[in-house]
Structure 1
Amino acid sequence: MYNLLKGKRGIISGALDQNSIAWKVAEKAHEEGAVFVLTNAPIAMRMGEINTLAEATGSQIVPADATSVEDLTNLFTQSQEILGGKIDFVLHSIGMSVNIRKKIPYPELNYEYFQKGIDVSALSLHKMLSVAKKLDAINEWGSVVALTYMAAQRTYPFYTDMADIKAMLESIARSFGYHYGLDKKVRINTVSQSPTKTTAGTGIKGFGSFYDYADAIAPLGNADAESCADYCITLFSDLTRMVTMQNLFHDGGYSSTGVSDDVMYRLGVENS
């Protein structure tokens, strides 16, 4: 280990189970010397195994509905009390689409579900940052990372309304990154991760086939949850102090590859 986060305090949201990227981030942050608070929505906490993670990392849990300004105010206030000072890093790993869960195709979206997805998965970042800024809860040169996906830039039919929601999430990171950077030197970035075998990811229709396709396109193959956690740790560290307002692709080169020899070969075999 490198002690990249020695002496740093953080808040990590979204750790549901051992497959979660947020779970891996928490484990890595602990290994690198950080102390942090774990948080998730009360309903997600009942479904997951967050208590096991808290015990393993010596962390406390503060439940919070990320759509509630009141809950988020309590989260940042309590976290500073628990950790003994201002926050140095925050992971936003929050995403939910009722339309995807109910397998509603994009042209027929239920708009109430759509608005719920926007509130949970994108506006929650704005609310989190707004609360933190009002409370002056994040140290200068602190770092906020939100997890996103490439469907914000390109069309993936199975990703339906989450594609639009992730585009909003990335825009919020850029817009708020300007204001928070100007005022407090706080940096805000999004990490666009490969398709990953998490509980949320595998719930998407056709995920298995697309995972294999992306793996065949990316010259390095798909990035797994553990390597994504490594990348997030570097963004929390002082080594990336001048990186902000960026959408950073962590996908084995998938986003820069038009087509691969592997895919061309497979198509050729099938068409022969």
Structure 2
Amino acid sequence: MNHNLLKGKRGIIFGALNEQSIAWKVAERAVEEGATITLSNTPVAVRMGDTNKLGEKLNAEILPADATNVEDLEMVFSKSIEILGGKIDFVLHSIGMSPNVRKKRTYDDLDYDLFNKTLDISAISFHKMLQVARKLDAIQRGGSILALSYIAAQRVFYGYNDMADAKALLESITRSFGYIYGRDKGVRVNTISQSPTMTTAGSGVKGMSDLMDFSERMAPLGNADADDCADYCVVMFSDLTRKVTMQNLYNDGGFSGMGMSLRAMKQYSNGLDESTTE
């Protein structure tokens, strides 16, 4: 349902790769709600993924860029202002990747060069994005900038590896920069901590399907999917949340508030019963 929550607003969506991507869903919903946007992803992702297809569908120009490169980010913000006809109202950072996870390096046997890349891609790129936007004065007063996080920033989840450290850093950057950006420019900076979602990046996490099943059993409302996250992002981009900043906001069906659910306990008990009969 269209509520015109973003009518007349201009946005940049980083990270839309294919239809599985949360950023893809956010881009679609933002345009449905009246926004005009540009899309950005790495040159390799644009070539290998379906970003061009999304750009054609939404009439959105694609600006290939490496989000870890300051000059590339300067280009994205400057060109987006030119293309969209004014300062930017909202930005989504949906960027995350761990070379250690891809290479199946466990947390107690990390390659530190790869660890630095994980942090740079998944978290420090957000700081660079914020710093570039502020220096260029690219964001409209009252604008909203979001990054996607995960509860592994606060709790240990087997297999999430060094991405947990990256998400913790991402949330810290949100608070520290959110204070400065809010004080000086009135710009909101928040993270959304999403349920485990089977995106291209998420599928690389060890035991992802089991984790999704566990969280589905634990969360009173079940897992939030990519479409749910897109709806939440639209609300956070809108003027309805103009006083919300420096927050990590959970979109996880209530999982973050749970200790043990009845469904999860029953599954656990059944597993114990089966193991004692073997």
TM norm. shorter chain > 0.5: yes
Distance 1:271 1:149 in 2: 30
SS at match of 2:141: strand
TM-score in terms of structure 1 length: 0.99
Distance 1:263 1:120 in 2: 34
SS at match of 1:266: helix
Residue 64 of structure 2 is aligned to residue 63 of structure 1: yes
Distance 2:271 2:63 in 1: 53
Match of 2:141 in 1: 140
Specify every segment of 5 or more residues in structure 1 that has no aligned partner in the other structure, as ranges. none
Distance 1:229 1:175 in 2: 25
Match of 2:233 in 1: 232
Shift of 1:266: 1.4
Distance 1:88 1:38 in 2: 14
Shift of 1:267: 1.8
SS at match of 1:7: coil
Distance 1:169 1:210 in 2: 22
Shift of 1:271: 2.1
Bigger mean CA deviation after superposition, 184-193 or 259-268: 259-268
SS at match of 1:154: coil
Shift of 1:128: 0.5
What do you get for the CA RMSD once the two structures are aligned? 0.6
List per-residue Cα deviations over 1:54-82 (Å, max 9, x = no partner): 01111000111001100000110000000
SS at match of 1:160: coil
Residue 11 of structure 2 is aligned to residue 10 of structure 1: yes
Residue 76 of structure 2 is aligned to residue 99 of structure 1: no
TM-score in terms of structure 2 length: 0.97
Distance 2:116 2:35 in 1: 35
Match of 1:165 in 2: 166
Percent identity between matched residues is 61
Figure out how many residues of one structure are paired with residues of the other and give that number. Answer: 272
Specify every segment of 5 or more residues in structure 2 that has no aligned partner in the other structure, as ranges. 274-278
SS at match of 1:158: coil
Amino acid at match of 2:17: L
Residue 44 of structure 2 is aligned to residue 43 of structure 1: yes
Q: Displaced runs of 4+ in structure 1, greater than 3 A?
A: none
SS at match of 1:159: coil
Shift of 1:43: 1.1
Distance 1:194 1:246 in 2: 17
Distance 2:136 2:264 in 1: 51
Residue 274 of structure 2 is aligned to residue 254 of structure 1: no
Shift of 1:94: 0.4
Amino acid at match of 1:75: V
Residue 33 of structure 2 is aligned to residue 54 of structure 1: no
Distance 2:119 2:133 in 1: 20
Shift of 1:95: 0.3
List per-residue Cα deviations over 1:180-232 (Å, max 9, x = no partner): 00001000000000001111111211111111011000010000000100000
Distance 2:117 2:134 in 1: 24
Match of 2:276 in 1: none
| Contact in 2 for aligned 1:16/1:48 (Cα 8 Å) | yes
Distance 2:270 2:126 in 1: 46
| Contact in 2 for aligned 1:106/1:157 (Cα 8 Å) | no
Distance 1:271 1:161 in 2: 31
Amino acid at match of 1:52: K
Residue 119 of structure 2 is aligned to residue 118 of structure 1: yes
List per-residue Cα deviations over 1:146-184 (Å, max 9, x = no partner): 001000000112001000011000000100000000001
Shift of 1:270: 2.3
